[in-house]
Amino acid sequence: MGKEAILRVDGLSMYFPVYRGVLRKKVGEIKAVDDVSFDITRGETLGLVGESGCGKSTTGRAILKLYDPTAGRIELQGRDITELEGDELRRIRTDMQMIFQDPQACLNPRMTVGSIIAEPLDEHTRLKRRQKRERVRELLDAVGMNPDFENRYPHEFSGGQRQRIGIARALALEPKFIVCDEPIAALDVSIQAQVVNLLEDLQKQHNLTYLFISHDLSMVRHIADRIAVMYLGRLVELAPRQQLYSMPRHPYTKALLSAVPEPDPAREALRERIILKGDVPSPANPPSGCNFSTRCPIAEDKCRREAPAWRKMDGGRFVACHMVQ
C-alpha cells in the first residue's frame, strides 16, 4: 500500500486465567485473543468482524492497553506501547481513543455531558475553564448535538444521542486512532446509518484512523477499507473490502458472507447459504490444529494436527488456512 502504518500489531495474545475451587487455583486460561497480527495505515478503516465471543472486542481493548496483553507487540506511530504503564501510558492515550458499544453504560450516569467530555481535557491539557467550555461546545456541535446540552445528564438523551456524546468524548483530545467497538450495535437501525455517516465525516475532517469492530458485515462493508475476519481468538482472513466480498478465500469467511442478504433480488435468489455444523468450541479449550477444523466443511487431517500459518497472499490479502493455495 505504500502508506505508513499508524498501528502495527504483531502476535498479540490475550489469555484470561480461569480460577476454580475454594482456594481459587488457576486451572486453565481462556485464549480470548491468540497470536493476532495486522497493520492499519493512517486514514484507513480496518473492519474487524466475527461472531460474538470471538475476541474482537478484546483485541480492541488490548490494543488500547485497557488490558495487559499476554504476549505480542503493539506499535502506535512507530512507538512500542506494549510495555507502557502509568503516566507514560496515560500520555499516549491522547492519541488513541475508543467508542464503546453501549452508549448508556459507558457514560458515567452521575456526570453531566459537559463534564464527561471535558474530563480528558482536565487531565491532559492546560486549557482554561472558558477554553474548555468552548471546546466542549465545539465538540458537541461537531457531532451534531445542540451545544446547550452540556449541562444535561446522559440519561436524558436517546441512544443515538448518547453515542454522539461518546464520540464527542473520544474526539476531545484529537486522537489519531480510534477503536470503534460495535458503536452501532445497540442502536436502532434508523439511527445506525446516521452514526456511521457521522463517523465517516469525522474521519475525513480529522484524518482519523479507525479499527471498526462489528458483527454486522453489511455495515462493515459500507465503512471499512480493509476487513479482518476473526474466529475463536484468531484472525482467519484479512483482505481489502472488494476482494474479500467478491472472492472470500477462507471457508469461514465464505460461510459468513453467505449469510449476508444481497440487496439485489436476482443475486439474492442465487445466494447459497453455507450452514456451519456444530457450535463454536470454548476458547478455554480450543481444538488442536486449526481452530476452525471442528466445523470446517473442507477440513482434512492436517487441519486437525497443525495450526495453519498466517500467510500473505496476493493483493494485500492474508489468510490462515492449509487448504488455500
Partner 1 sequence: MFNYTIRRLLFAIPTLLVISFLIFAILDLAPSDPTGNLPLTIPPEVREKIRLSLGLGEPFPIRYLKWLQQFFINEPLNMIEQWFGITIGDSENRLRVQSWATRSPVVDLIVERMPQTLWVVGMSYVVGILIAIPIGVISAYRQYSVFDQVGTFVSMVGFSVPTFFTGLVLIVVFSSTLGWLPSIYDTTHKVTDLSSFWFQVKQMIMPVMVLALFNASQLSRFMRASMLDNLSQDYVRTARAKGLKERAVLLIHVLRNSLIPVVTVIALGIPQIFGGAIITEQIFRVNGLGQLLIIGIQGADIPLVQTLTFIFAVLIVLFNLLADIVYGILDPRIRYE
Q: How distant, in Å, are the alpha carbons of 96, 107, 141, 215, 323 from that of 227?
A: 20, 29, 31, 12, 21
Q: Is 247 a residue that touches partner 1 (CB under 8 A)?
A: no
Q: Is 211 a residue that touches partner 1 (CB under 8 A)?
A: no
List the one residue from 31, 56, 164, 169 that touches partner 1 (CB under 8 A): 169
**Residue (86 or 278) nearer to partner 1, CB:** 86
The one segment of 25-33, 96-104, 229-237, 295-303 that binds partner 1 by CB under 8 A:
96-104
CA–CA gap between residue 215 and residue 306 (Å, rounded): 28
Nearest to 58 by CA among 284, 252, 230: 230
List the one residue from 24, 129, 130, 204 that touches partner 1 (CB under 8 A): 24
Strand segments (E) across 42-185: 45-49, 71-76, 79-80, 96-99, 177-181
Q: How distant, in Å, are the alpha carbons of 100, 165, 206, 301 from that of 146?
A: 22, 11, 21, 61
Say how many residues touch partner 1, by CB under 8 A. 30
CA–CA gap between residue 241 and residue 46 (Å, rounded): 9
Q: Write down how long the chain is.
A: 325
Question: Using the 8-state DSSP alphabet, how is residue 83 labeled?
Answer: T
**Residue (120 or 283) nearer to partner 1, CB:** 120
211, containing H or E segment: strand 209-214
Q: Is 173 a residue that touches partner 1 (CB under 8 A)?
A: yes
Q: Is 20 a residue that touches partner 1 (CB under 8 A)?
A: no
List the one residue from 20, 91, 302, 305 that touches partner 1 (CB under 8 A): 91
**Residue (3 or 110) nearer to partner 1, CB:** 110
Contacts of 136 (CB under 8 A, 6+ apart): 114, 117, 118, 121, 147, 150, 168, 172
Q: Is 79 a residue that touches partner 1 (CB under 8 A)?
A: no
List the one residue from 4, 68, 123, 262 that touches partner 1 (CB under 8 A): 123
Q: Is 33 a residue that touches partner 1 (CB under 8 A)?
A: no
Q: Is 214 a residue that touches partner 1 (CB under 8 A)?
A: no
**Residue (89 or 309) nearer to partner 1, CB:** 89
Q: Is 162 a residue that touches partner 1 (CB under 8 A)?
A: no
CA–CA gap between residue 55 and residue 181 (Å, rounded): 11
Strands 226-231 and 45-49: parallel
Q: Is 109 a residue that touches partner 1 (CB under 8 A)?
A: yes
Binding region for partner 1 (CB under 8 A): 19, 24, 61, 64, 66, 89-91, 93-94, 97-98, 100-102, 105-110, 119-120, 123-124, 153, 155, 166, 169, 173
